[in-house]
């Protein structure tokens, strides 16, 4: 229970303040516990950030898969809205900052599991009436979606980014 509250505090601090404002002490304050308790459950900053990264990854994968509950173009519109919402909430910026860390455990925690990719592929295939994509193709698709968020995080005009998003799907589906 306390451990989950620490993870939630670490995640919300990261999303709200980024890595520059993220410390174990700040996480402890957010979780309303002693800093020693944070270190008891997570010996290092990297260990806690890896757990946060895995949590973000699972949530993002679930949202992206859920977008494909719609069919056809509506599914692609729903997925675009998911990407935009992740930028608006700060989750995309948090994701990108975690990806830039040198700690391998944190970066590894960001990689979609085979099961997450299979769920995404099955949902996309059903929604778009196409064959399921291979694991390497799905990994490339996930990377492209993450890459499309970067210009949005940097405050660029969403219109050309949406155009690029549509082109990616046109190419993938043709």
Domain boundaries, the chain: 1-43, 54-173
User: Which pLDDT does position 173 carry in this prediction?
Assistant: 83
At the fourth CATH level, the homologous superfamily of domain 1-43 is: Homeodomain-like (1.10.10.60)
Sequence-distant (6+) residues with CB within 8 A of 107 are: 53, 98, 99, 101
pLDDT above 80 (res 7): yes
Q: What is the token pair recorded at 68?
A: 């494909």
Q: What is the token pair recorded at 161?
A: 């980014």
Note the pLDDT tens digit of each residue in 86-130: 999 999 999 999 999 999 999 999 999 999 999 999 999 999 999
Dihedral angle at the C-alpha atoms of 72, 78, 83, 85, nearest 10 degrees? 170
- Label residue 143 exposed, middle or buried (CB < 10 Å: 0-12, 13-18, 19+): exposed
pTM of the model: 0.92
């Amino acid at each position: 229970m306390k451990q989950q509250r620490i993870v939630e505090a670490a995640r919300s601090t990261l999303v709200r303040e980024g890595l520059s404002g993220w410390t174990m002490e700040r996480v402890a304050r957010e979780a309303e516990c002693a800093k020693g308790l944070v270190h008891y459950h997570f010996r290092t900053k990297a260990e806690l950030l890896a757990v946060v990264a895995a949590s973000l990854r699972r949530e993002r994968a679930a949202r992206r898969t859920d977008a494909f509950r719609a069919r056809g173009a509506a599914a692609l519109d729903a997925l675009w809205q998911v990407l935009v919402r992740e930028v608006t909430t700060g989750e995309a910026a948090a994701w990108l900052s975690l990806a830039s860390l040198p700690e391998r455990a944190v970066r590894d925690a960001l990689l979609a599991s085979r099961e997450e990719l299979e769920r995404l592929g099955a949902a996309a295939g059903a929604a778009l009436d196409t064959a399921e994509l291979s694991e390497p193709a799905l990994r490339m698709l996930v990377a492209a979606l993450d890459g499309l968020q970067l210009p949005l995080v940097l405050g660029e005009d969403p219109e050309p980014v949406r155009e690029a998003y549509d082109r990616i799907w046109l190419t993938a589906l043709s």
